[in-house]
Amino acid sequence: MQAISWKGSYLSLLNQTLLPNKVEYIQCRDYRTVAKAIKNLEVRGAPAIGAAAAFAMVLGIRELAVRPELTDEKISVLAKELKKTRPTAINLAWAVDRMLGVVQRYKQDSDLLDKLEQEALLIAEEDKQVNYRLAQYGAQLFTQPTAILTHCNSGTLATVDYGTALGVIRRTWSEGNVSRVFADETRPLLQGSRLTAWELMQDHIPVTLITDSMAGWVMKQRMVQAVIVGADRITSNGDVANKIGTYSVAILAKEHNIPFYVAAPLSTFDFSMRSGDEIPIEERKPEEITFLSGVCVAPDGVPVFNPAFDVTPNSLITGIITEYGVLRTPYEISIEKLKAKKGDM
């Protein structure tokens, strides 16, 4: 099961909108197909769309180089088109900017396209290794069998491999310290029921599916001892943007004295933003709420508010699991130290 794989002449993406009923791959032979797949959630998850955008840059620059139209203006248009597909997830912009750096360094070289392909492959490989290291640190938090609740999908399907929050769960399970996972279904697009529950069942990890509105009662009944979620953007003060509904779960965890962890790589941190108030929140089309599996479930013409993400304030977060260890409060200090590590890279 690979959500994203590079085939040399095209990018192969697992169409996640069809899961779990059908496994089908999209062959992306130009950057427009990748951009459409990102926008339509056929590929999703912050690390995965970052890697996908990197390969989209390879395809786009190839196209421009053939015409030839490899001008700064055309390259800028390409980058902006990719970035606007999902504005909240910082990994996407991070990957595009990293590829732009390669273009600027080697634009006049005959092997520019090779350099771009190598960089995209490196981004993908780094994501794999980062997730393994992140999972190791996360697993150290659990020394006895623990029931864990998670929201949305932050596993293999959301990354190049292994996962962030689900990566921690996988590693913890392998060490004998996961008794059960509770997966929120995650409305409106059901990433929890369609993707997370499916992934965990593939790995034979015990999983129980619940609706989003059941999380509080599950916690009150002491059926859960920890929460782990992924992230789409983390600001310098430790505020976290993640799939809509995460904020509600964090409040419930706080009320029930349950630790709430976020698992995310360095590439998900946006050091330019001081707090979550600055994060742009993507709003998606009303039909994602008014229709379910093609069936209308709301009155025709009813107004709809459909933000794809919410922001969890740092005060509700017990720790942020990264490939460099687990960050603790005060997050302004621990994240500043993390930023210094980025500068040393």
Binding-site positions for substrate read: 44-46, 86, 191, 242-243
Q: Which two tokens stand for residue 343?
A: 């500068």
Annotated catalytic residue within 184, 232, 239, 270: 232
- Residue 127 falls in the annotated catalytic set: no
Neighbours of 95 (CB within 10 A): 29
Tokens of 308: 């794809």
Three-class DSSP labels, the chain: CCCEEECCCCEEEECCCCCCCCCCEEEECCHHHHHHHHHCCCCCCHHHHHHHHHHHHHHHHHHHHHCCCCCHHHHHHHHHHHHCCCCCCHHHHHHHHHHHHHHHHHCCCCCHHHHHHHHHHHHHHHHHHHHHHHHHHHHCCCCCCEEEEECCCCCHHHCCCCCCHHHHHHHHHHCCCEEEEEEECCCCCCHHHHHHHHHHHHCCCCEEEECHHHHHHHHHCCCCCEEEECCCEEECCCCEEEECCHHHHHHHHHHCCCCEEEECCHHHEECCCCCHHHCCCCECCCHHHHEECCEECCCCCCCCCCECEEEECHHHCCEEEECCEEECCCHHHHHHHHHHHHHHC
Q: Please give the Cα distance from 146 to 149 (Å, whole number).
A: 10
Catalytic residue IDs = 232
